Amino acid sequence: MWLIKLAWKNIWRNRNRTLISMSAIFFAVIFSVVANSLWKGTFGALIQNLVGYYSGYIQIQQAGYWDEQVLDNSLEWSDSLKAEISGENNIDALSPRLESFALMSSGDITKGCLVVGIDPMRESEVTQLQERLKKGRYLESGDQAILLTEGLAEQLQLSLEDTVYIIGQGFHGATAAGKYPIKGILKYGAPDLNNRLAFLSLPAAQELYGAENRATSVVISLHDQNLLEETVLGLKKRLDSGLVAMTWKDMMPEIVQHMKTDHFTMQIIQYLLYLLIAFGIFGTLTMMMVERQFEMGMLIALGMKKGNMILLMVIESVFTVITGCLAGLAASIPVAFYFKNNPIRFGGEFGKAYERFGFEAVMPGSTEPGIFWSQGLIVLCLGLLLSLYPLYKILRMDPVKAMRR
């Protein structure tokens, strides 16, 4: 107990020295947490833009559709299929779609696009499509109107209430042609989606393509994204042999590969960051040892055992490191939330490079609890590990030499 009291007094006997030591750990925690928050937030935004806002985490398709995406490889949408899919516990919501590429024209302008027939309410439950609405009104079931993405509308030089003409190939080679008033304009963060999507109600799309009761896919959202693989296995057991369940990783392997490459790069950056943090903490400990060398030599000369001196230094280190870590964690939480609500946006060539890959050029923060406690724990362990240096110096200390000014 007396060592704890003495350690506490020693910490605050030289406030400047203690505050410098705590500051090194304080800023180390902040830098580590913010770096990880931005990294995880960026990939979370990427997955949300490409997966949560369009493809869904799982899709049910007719076998062979993914390799040859034509309406002839569509599946029959029925209440029994809906019941089979809904029976899996981790399914949050599902929405049938009828997708096909077509030509869209306005006056002399023609543009290729992806026309997507949807159940408006179900689609919004899965991909939050209604939240993408920038202007106009959202679709209702059975509407004979269309929603265009902002980029597509700009390329066709169209606005609300204008009429757009669609021509394409329907089910079993039939000709698909129709004209629809524009009911709303949607905006996606990912340029690839924002420049090519058009949405009809599912009945309107089935009528356009002559594909009654057909769907090219059933898009699924999950309660728990971490149970993705388990959910797919459960669906495969439930579905007929002619149907397949595909995860977003199966459908977008290039994104998975990109994430693996960036994960490796980020790990190297993290190790360099931890190395800088270690040098910063070690520098403050070295300064502290130089300043306290005379004091420690005097205590040992007066009869204090080196074992007690080492225990005293351990207690001081624990107090200093834990206080710095807790203060750093407390300060990093509002910083992470700030970047989550106000993401860093890239411009210039760097932003264009992001958009060429179909990504929104933003870097938001993540506020997952694991980021805070894991990074705080890493810095805490680094601080305690580096605190072994003063203990080594005490073991090797010659009190006579230590008391020489």
Average pLDDT over residues 244-251: 88
Q: What integer best gives the mean pLDDT of the chain?
A: 83
pLDDT tens, position by position, 81-120: 898 888 888 898 999 999 999 999 988 889 999 999 999 9
If you average pLDDT over residues 24-31, what whole number do you get? 82
pLDDT digits (tens, 9 = 90+) for 188-225: 877 778 888 999 999 999 999 999 999 999 999 888 88
The residue-averaged pLDDT of 340-345 equals: 81
User: Model confidence over 300-340: pLDDT tens digits?
Assistant: 777 777 777 777 777 777 777 788 888 888 888 898 888 88
Average pLDDT estimate for 261-272:
78
Q: With 60 as the cut, is the pLDDT of residue 237 above it? A: yes
- Does pLDDT of 358 surpass 60? no
User: Which region among 1-10, 245-254, 339-348 has the lowest average model confidence (pLDDT)?
Assistant: 1-10
pLDDT at position 185: 94
pLDDT digits (tens, 9 = 90+) for 158-173: 989 899 999 999 888 8
Distance CA 263, CA 120 (A): 36
Q: What is the pLDDT of residue 100?
A: 93
